[in-house]
Structure 1
Amino acid sequence: MGHVRFLHTSDWHVGRTFHGADLLAEQAAVLGHLADLVAAEAVDVVLVSGDIYDRAVPSAEAVQVANRALARLRESGAQLVITSGNHDSAPRLGAFGDFAAAGGLHLRTAVDRIADPVLLEDEHGPVAIYGIPYLEPEPARHALGVPDAKGHNGVLTEAMRRIRTDLAGREPGTRSVVLAHAFVTGGQGTESERTIAVGGVEQVGGEVFDGVDYVALGHLHGPQTLAEHLRYSGSPLAYSFSEARQRKSVWLVDFDAGGLAEVRRHELPVPRKLAKLAGGIDWLLSADEHAELTDCYLSVTLTDSVRPVDAMRRLRERFPYAVHLEWLPENGKTTAALRYAEAVRGRSDTEIARNFLDDCRGTPPTEREEKLLRRALETAGRGES
């Protein structure tokens, strides 16, 4: 090969749902686009830095989508190097690693393979690709033989020490790539990452990764550049409304004789956009200006002074992908959060029930509801004599 071209992606979270909505079709579409990109850009190696799956035991359907995506990437001409993230089960993901390597799929999920690189040759010589799986600090410090290592910083420092030692023993001019799944200081999180805090500390200093030509980071879901050679690709899809404004992307990374030559950002297609809406329910259901949002995943804030009955069902008649709903009346009635003890002090059961209804929906019970409440309390033996 001439020079090596990498595609850096991570955090696929195949099998994740979005506020209860199944995302497998959207995930399959975006991952299929990656395969087209690999072919169009003549990518040599796809780097996936952890969290292939959203859970340790993915569903059969999720496994099918991931398998198909990996097969298509391979068919498009790239080799694959994959590490496990904090959502993956490392043993499960790495189960057939030795067999997969023969077909160009290199899995790095075990502590004892950290300093065992995938080696490639281009016209300028060797490139060593090292995969650091997500390291849970407590078991990892014992597995790495550094029982005094502190937190994520400690175990990743040891992992990188092993990598630098291996690299130093290779032929001069060997270029290097490291995949790691971690929260590096300076990175911006979103609402959709699972915390990896240990004793309140989850962050790792960027200097831990010094001494290699490119570091392909995973874990944070927004694409970001911490240094020219130190980047997060982010997730290929938005997994929370906090990501609605992000442009999801991957990095195309070129190496030349001296190491890192160029990094380009490639924005990904958005199978279904995210949007937020606020207003009274009647206006939301009738106003023309919302017509283009019918295909979006929607987060809706209702501002009616009285909580509308059956709101989600009504909204979905117009917006089938409304997935999240909250009620914040403009009169601010829900904002006066009373402490429970103060709310019930010196009040009868009927009064408490009446006030509860009023608080929950912004209007006191009707006469008929009052009768039902009294009957319910009498049946419960709590009626007032």
Structure 2
Amino acid sequence: MRFLHMADLHIGKSVNGMNLIEDQRYVLTQVLDLLKKEPVNGLLLAGDIYDRSIPPAEAVTLFDWFLTEVSELLVPVFVVAGNHDSGERLEFGQKLFGRQKVYVEGILKEEFPAIEMEDEYGTLILHLLPYFKPAQAKALYPDDEIRTYEEAMRAVLMRHPVDRTARNVLVTHQFVTGTEPVRQSDSELSLSVGGADQVSYSLFEDYDYVALGHIHGPQRAGRDSVRYSGSILKYSFSEESHKKSVTLIELEQKGEVNVTTYPLTPLHDMRRIKGKLENLLDPEVTGAADCEDYISAVLTDEEELADPMEKLRASYPNIMELNLEKRQRSGGNGISADVREKTPLELGEAFLLLTSGEAEEKRMDFLKQLLEEGGSDR
């Protein structure tokens, strides 16, 4: 039995104001091409299908297109909700989709699906467990002591029947950890604080393979058959070194699991550059890699610069971030291409820092006065 494991699509996500919908379509097309070349018995989507609980229309349209294309290949699809998804919305049309072998599980229930499949090695059972919080498990099992995610997961799994003579695959979305540290990035939404969100891989001993979502870097969690497939794209510059991929798993007779990863090529890579403005604009430097990559730039110039963002944008049209090294040394921040979260006062201060190298008290007082008179001091 062969399955393709994916997670953390985050369809509809924007990074620093850049809409990534075409980037997502680009890699999803690669997945469809892979499914045509490597026939599988199912596609496992382990959560965070969308980037937010109410996705934009273009995100829903893209996922609809992808599911339709997969269904036309006669590949069953098994979907669970992640912490970014709305489980209720994801389950829309659940029964109708199930008739087309698109199985969607968005909300924790006392009984979650266990779908049986057969091949020459016997029975394989797919278990679909969506993301859930401890409070949701506590509502189902009020007599249990449930405070952490691990206690919640234990309470849920101990009540879920598993035929240990068959091969079992669990698709779920939680922060599962092993004996070695899990490599995280800053684009992953923390589930809780103080480590209460962590779930030990040892809880999944009954499962031959556990298809995980939530962590964006492809990696194992405790054992090779408990794996994060990772996100389909780099969603922050902390993921600059990631090699994005999808995971093909092959389960033969019980106890035999083979894992192969297939790389995904982005439409635009995400990378950092650093140096003096003049050097970064040198044609030899801009031509050394794809100038249309998503760029985070750090300028090392000590002197004042006039409109460095616009000058960089002329050579790097998809620049996302700009920072001044001298400003970083003093603990400040630079200008990001995403200004939606900044107040007018913060934008003005960032502009003064970038153009003159300092936000003088006199200038800031004058700026505050202007904003107050205009009714935009916040």
**Fold conserved (TM > 0.5)?**
yes
Whether 1:335 and 2:335 are equivalent positions in the alignment is no
Matching residue of 2:183: 188
Deviation sequence 1:148-175 (CA, Å, 0-9, x none): 2121101111222133xx224xxx7321
Whether 1:285 and 2:281 are equivalent positions in the alignment is yes
Computed over aligned residues only, the root mean square deviation of the Cα atoms, in angstroms, reads 2.8
- What residue ranges of structure 1 are gaps of 5+ in the alignment? 339-355, 381-385
SS in 1 for 2:281: helix
TM (norm. structure 2) is: 0.85
Q: How much does 1:282 deviate?
A: 2.3
- Greater mean alpha carbon deviation, residues 216-225 or residues 261-270: 261-270
SS in 2 for 1:57: coil
Residue identity in the other structure for 1:220: I
| Structure 2 CA distance for aligned equivalents of residues 7 and 50 of structure 1 | 14
Matching residue of 2:220: 225
Asked if the contact 2:110/2:140 (under 8 Å) is kept, the reply is no
Deviation sequence 1:331-383 (CA, Å, 0-9, x none): xx663469xxxxxxxxxxxxxxxxx9689843698xxxx8x999989999xxx
Matching residue of 2:199: 204
Whether 1:34 and 2:28 are equivalent positions in the alignment is no
TM (norm. structure 1) is: 0.83
Change (3 A) 1:305 1:62: same
Matching residue of 2:119: 122
Matching residue of 2:73: 76
Q: How much does 1:228 deviate?
A: 2.0
- What residue ranges of structure 2 are gaps of 5+ in the alignment? 333-350, 372-378
Whether 1:294 and 2:291 are equivalent positions in the alignment is yes
Q: How much does 1:304 deviate?
A: 1.5
Change (3 A) 1:293 1:308: farther
The one of 153, 173, 180 equivalent to 1:156 is 153
SS in 2 for 1:266: strand
Q: How much does 1:224 deviate?
A: 0.2
Matching residue of 2:335: none
Asked if the contact 2:225/2:257 (under 8 Å) is kept, the reply is no
Deviation sequence 1:70-104 (CA, Å, 0-9, x none): 11122223100000000000000012111100001
Asked if the contact 2:137/2:146 (under 8 Å) is kept, the reply is no
Residue identity in the other structure for 1:174: A
Residue identity in the other structure for 2:188: E
Whether 1:254 and 2:246 are equivalent positions in the alignment is no
Matching residue of 1:167: 162
**Which aligned pairs between 1:317-356 and structure 2 lie closer than 5 A?**
317-329=314-326, 335-336=329-330
Aligned-pair identity in percent equals 31
Matching residue of 2:20: 23
Matching residue of 2:343: none
| Structure 2 CA distance for aligned equivalents of residues 224 and 52 of structure 1 | 19
SS in 2 for 1:107: strand
Asked if the contact 1:151/1:198 (under 8 Å) is kept, the reply is no
| Structure 1 CA distance for aligned equivalents of residues 214 and 28 of structure 2 | 18
Asked if the contact 1:97/1:106 (under 8 Å) is kept, the reply is yes
What is the aligned residue count?
348
Asked if the contact 1:301/1:326 (under 8 Å) is kept, the reply is yes
Change (3 A) 1:378 1:235: closer
Asked if the contact 2:9/2:231 (under 8 Å) is kept, the reply is yes
Asked if the contact 1:39/1:77 (under 8 Å) is kept, the reply is no
